[in-house]
């Protein structure tokens, strides 16, 4: 066998070896297994249900409870986001929405000179604290079809402050809950009218039941 034939055999051998090495490297790159973060298999064990998150389990306090500690000053600051559509002072003009002086206790859709949506005009009765709270939370949910585009105030404590502020914008603010749970103080005129009244005689005590 001459040197030319030897070179052909050697070249074929080297080429075959190079192909085997290249295939081995390529296969390793394609089919290399990913090592798990932790060795072994996770086994699901039935046990006690997971504790829900605090945010999901904590019920929102009643608005009457929050109103007992609500701040008119904070409510005035929070209500600034409404000033592009509403005015709050007595005799203030209507804007995109009606003037809100005296809105607490005012009949629905009753402010003079403002054209309400059909959905709002269909509402009857006065604006109570509870209804205002629901409306401020989500106008679209409280009055479906309302033209008010405001998304709402999700935080209950902020709504309580806004309600306290709205209630203060009135000639006759509605009585709100107090921190002690006692009835709100009487208006000044009523107290003055009662100053000259004599105290009532103590009521007779009913005999105990046998």
Domains delineated in the chain: 60-171 (1.10.760.10)
Neighbour tally for 68: CB within 10 Å: 14
The pLDDT profile of the chain, 210 residues, written as one tens digit per residue, is: 567 777 777 778 888 888 888 777 777 667 666 666 666 666 666 665 555 555 455 677 889 899 999 999 999 999 999 999 999 999 999 999 999 999 999 999 999 999 999 999 999 999 999 999 999 999 999 999 999 989 999 999 999 999 999 999 999 999 988 766 544 444 444 444 444 444 444 444 444 444
Hey, what are 145's tokens? 């079809």
Q: What torsion, rounded to 10 degrees, do the Cα atoms 88, 92, 93, 95 define?
A: -10
Token pair 């007992």: residue: 68
Residues in CB range of 135: below 8 A, 6 or more apart: 142, 143
Report pTM: 0.59
């Amino acid at each position: 066998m001459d040197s030319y034939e030897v070179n052909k055999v050697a070249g074929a051998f080297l080429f075959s070896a190079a192909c085997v090495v290249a295939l081995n490297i390529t296969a390793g790159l394609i089919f290399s297994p990913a090592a798990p973060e932790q060795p072994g298999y996770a086994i699901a064990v039935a046990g006690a249900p997971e504790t829900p998150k605090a945010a999901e389990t904590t019920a929102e306090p009643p608005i009457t409870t929050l109103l007992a500690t609500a701040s008119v000053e904070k409510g005035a600051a929070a209500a600034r986001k409404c000033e592009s559509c509403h005015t709050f002072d007595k005799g203030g003009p209507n804007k995109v929405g009606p003037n809100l002086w005296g809105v607490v206790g005012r009949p629905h859709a009753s402010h003079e000179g403002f054209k309400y949506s059909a959905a709002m005009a269909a509402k009857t009765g006065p604006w109570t604290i509870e209804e205002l709270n629901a409306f401020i939370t989500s106008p679209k949910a409280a009055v479906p079809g309302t033209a008010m585009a405001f998304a709402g105030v999700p935080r209950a404590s902020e709504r309580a402050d806004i309600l306290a502020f709205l209630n203060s914008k009135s000639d006759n603010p509605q009585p709100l809950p107090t921190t002690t749970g006692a009835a709100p103080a009487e208006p000044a005129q009523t107290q003055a009218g009662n100053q000259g009244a004599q105290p009532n005689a103590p009521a007779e005590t009913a005999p105990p039941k046998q």
